[in-house]
Chain A
Amino acid sequence: MTNTLAYHQAASRSAWEIDAVFLFITVVSLFFFILVEGLLIYFAVRYRRRRAEEAHATSDVRSNFVLETVWVIIPSIVVIAFFVYGYVVYRDVTTPSPGASDIHVVAQQFLFNFKYPDGRTGINELRVPVGKPVKLIMTSRDVIHGFFVPAYRLKQDILPGRYTYLYLQPDKEGAYDVYCAEYCGGGHSTMRAKLIVMPPGEYANWVAGAAAEAAVPLADRGKALVEKFGCLGCHTVDGSPKVGPSLKGLFGRQGTLEDGRTVTADEEYIKESLYDPGAKIVKGFPNVMPTFKGTVSPDDVTAVIAYIKTLK
Chain B
Amino acid sequence: MKDTTADGVALTVSGDAHPRGYLEEKGFWSWVYTLDHKRIGLLYLYTTLFFFLLGGIFALLIRIKLLYPGQQIFSDHMYNVLFTLHGSVMIFLFIIPAIPSGLGNFFIPLLIGARDVAFPRINLASYWVFVAGILVILASLVRPMDTGWTFYTPYSAKTAADVTLLSFGIFLVGMSSILTGLNFLVTIHKLRAPGMTWHRFPLFIWGMYATSIIQVVATPVVGITFLLLAMERLFGVGFFDPAKGGDPVLFQHFFWFYSHPVVYVMILPAMGIISEVIPVFSRKPIFGYRAIAYSSLAIAFIGFLVWGHHMFVSGMSKTANIIFSFLTFFVAVPTAIKVFNWIATMYKGSITFESPMLYALTFIFLFTFGGLTGMFLGALATNVHAHDTYFVVAHFHYTMMGGTMMGLLAGLHYWWPKMTGRMLSEKLARAGWLLTFIGFNVTFLTQFFLGYGGMPRRWAEYPAQFQPLNIVSTAGSWILAAGILIMFVNFIRGLYTGEPAPASPWKGLTLEWQVPSPPPTENFEEIPHITNWPYGYTKRKTDGYE
Query: Within 8 Å by CB, do A and B touch in the complex?
Result: yes
- Chain A residues with a Cβ under 8 A of chain B: 1, 3-5, 7-8, 17-18, 21-22, 25-26, 29, 32-33, 36-37, 39-40, 43-44, 47-49, 54-64, 67-68, 71-72, 75-76, 79-80, 82-83, 85-91, 93-94, 142-144, 146, 148, 150-151, 153-157, 159-162, 164, 177, 179-190, 192, 276, 293
Residues from chain B with a CB closer than 8 A to the CB of A151 are: 454
Question: Are A47 and B337 closer than 8 Å at their CB atoms?
Answer: no
* A interface footprint on B375-400 (CB within 8 Å = 1, 0 otherwise): 11011111111011100000000000
Question: Are A79 and B330 closer than 8 Å at their CB atoms?
Answer: yes
* A interface footprint on B307-336 (CB within 8 Å = 1, 0 otherwise): 000000111001001100110011011001
**Within the complex, what minimum Cβ distance (angstroms) separates A48 from chain B?**
5
Question: Are B348 and A83 closer than 8 Å at their CB atoms?
Answer: no
* Known contacts A44-B346, A47-B351, A161-B242; A61 and B287 CB within 8 A of each other: yes
Question: Are A150 and B453 closer than 8 Å at their CB atoms?
Answer: yes
Known pairs A58-B537, A67-B344, A85-B381. 4 more at Cβ < 8 A?
A: A5-B452, A68-B288, A79-B333, A161-B243
Determine which of A54, A62, A64 lies in contact with B6 in the assembled complex, contact meaning CB atoms within 8 Å.
Answer: A54
In whole angstroms, how far apart are the Cα atoms of A120 and B356 in the complex?
A: 65
- What are the nearest 7 A-B pairs in CB distance? A161-B242, A86-B379, A150-B454, A90-B380, A55-B350, A189-B459, A89-B381
Determine which of A21, A44, A57, A154 lies in contact with B538 in the assembled complex, contact meaning CB atoms within 8 Å.
Answer: A57
Determine which of A37, A93, A183 lies in contact with B152 in the assembled complex, contact meaning CB atoms within 8 Å.
Answer: A183
In whole angstroms, how far apart are the Cα atoms of A184 and B460 in the complex?
A: 12
Determine which of B159, B351, B381, B463 lies in contact with A17 in the assembled complex, contact meaning CB atoms within 8 Å.
Answer: B381
Residues from chain A with a CB closer than 8 A to the CB of B290 are: 63
**Within the complex, what minimum Cβ distance (angstroms) separates B391 from chain A?**
10
**Within the complex, what minimum Cβ distance (angstroms) separates B470 from chain A?**
9
In whole angstroms, how far apart are the Cα atoms of A200 and B142 in the complex?
A: 55
**Within the complex, what minimum Cβ distance (angstroms) separates B457 from chain A?**
8
* Known contacts A62-B289, A67-B344, A79-B329; A8 and B453 CB within 8 A of each other: yes
Residues from chain A with a CB closer than 8 A to the CB of B458 are: 183, 188-189
Question: Are A22 and B351 closer than 8 Å at their CB atoms?
Answer: no
* Known contacts A4-B465, A276-B245; A79 and B375 CB within 8 A of each other: yes
* Known contacts A5-B453, A54-B283, A67-B344; A60 and B538 CB within 8 A of each other: yes
Q: Which of B220-228, B361-369, B481-489 participates in binding chain A?
A: B361-369
Residues from chain A with a CB closer than 8 A to the CB of B80 are: 183, 185-186, 188
Residues from chain A with a CB closer than 8 A to the CB of B333 are: 72, 75-76, 79
Q: Is B540 positioned at the interface, with any CB of A under 8 Å from its CB?
A: yes
* A interface footprint on B449-479 (CB within 8 Å = 1, 0 otherwise): 1101111111111110110110000000000
In whole angstroms, how far apart are the Cα atoms of A187 and B249 in the complex?
A: 22
**Within the complex, what minimum Cβ distance (angstroms) separates B329 from chain A?**
4
Which A residue's beta carbon lies closest to that of B154? A143
Question: Are B453 and A183 closer than 8 Å at their CB atoms?
Answer: no
* A interface footprint on B239-276 (CB within 8 Å = 1, 0 otherwise): 00011010111000000000000000000000000000
* Known contacts A22-B382, A44-B351, A61-B348; A87 and B325 CB within 8 A of each other: yes
In whole angstroms, how far apart are the Cα atoms of A54 and B507 in the complex?
A: 11
Question: Are A186 and B378 closer than 8 Å at their CB atoms?
Answer: no
Residues from chain B with a CB closer than 8 A to the CB of A144 are: 152, 154-155, 248
* Known contacts A4-B449, A87-B325; A33 and B154 CB within 8 A of each other: no
In whole angstroms, how far apart are the Cα atoms of A154 and B387 in the complex?
A: 10
Residues from chain A with a CB closer than 8 A to the CB of B315 are: 156-157, 159, 162, 164
Determine which of A58, A68, A83, A180 lies in contact with B291 in the assembled complex, contact meaning CB atoms within 8 Å.
Answer: A68
**Within the complex, what minimum Cβ distance (angstroms) separates B142 from chain A?**
18
Residues from chain A with a CB closer than 8 A to the CB of B147 are: 183
**Within the complex, what minimum Cβ distance (angstroms) separates A22 from chain B?**
5
Question: Are A157 and B379 closer than 8 Å at their CB atoms?
Answer: no
**What would 26 A/B residue contacts be, using CB atoms closer than 8 Å?**
A1-B449, A22-B452, A25-B376, A25-B379, A25-B382, A36-B364, A40-B364, A47-B349, A58-B538, A59-B348, A59-B349, A60-B540, A64-B344, A68-B337, A75-B337, A79-B329, A82-B329, A86-B379, A86-B382, A89-B380, A90-B384, A93-B381, A153-B384, A156-B315, A159-B248, A189-B462
In whole angstroms, how far apart are the Cα atoms of A40 and B351 in the complex?
A: 12
**Within the complex, what minimum Cβ distance (angstroms) separates B475 from chain A?**
14
Which A residue's beta carbon lies closest to that of B334? A72
Residues from chain B with a CB closer than 8 A to the CB of A153 are: 384-385
* Known contacts A59-B284, A186-B76; A36 and B388 CB within 8 A of each other: no
Q: Is B352 positioned at the interface, with any CB of A under 8 Å from its CB?
A: yes
Q: Is B340 positioned at the interface, with any CB of A under 8 Å from its CB?
A: yes
Residues from chain B with a CB closer than 8 A to the CB of A54 are: 6, 283, 350, 507
Which B residue's beta carbon lies closest to that of A187? B76
In whole angstroms, how far apart are the Cα atoms of A79 and B364 in the complex?
A: 20
Determine which of B245, B249, B353, B384 lies in contact with A18 in the assembled complex, contact meaning CB atoms within 8 Å.
Answer: B384
Q: Is B282 positioned at the interface, with any CB of A under 8 Å from its CB?
A: yes
Question: Are B242 and A58 closer than 8 Å at their CB atoms?
Answer: no
**Within the complex, what minimum Cβ distance (angstroms) separates A47 from chain B?**
5
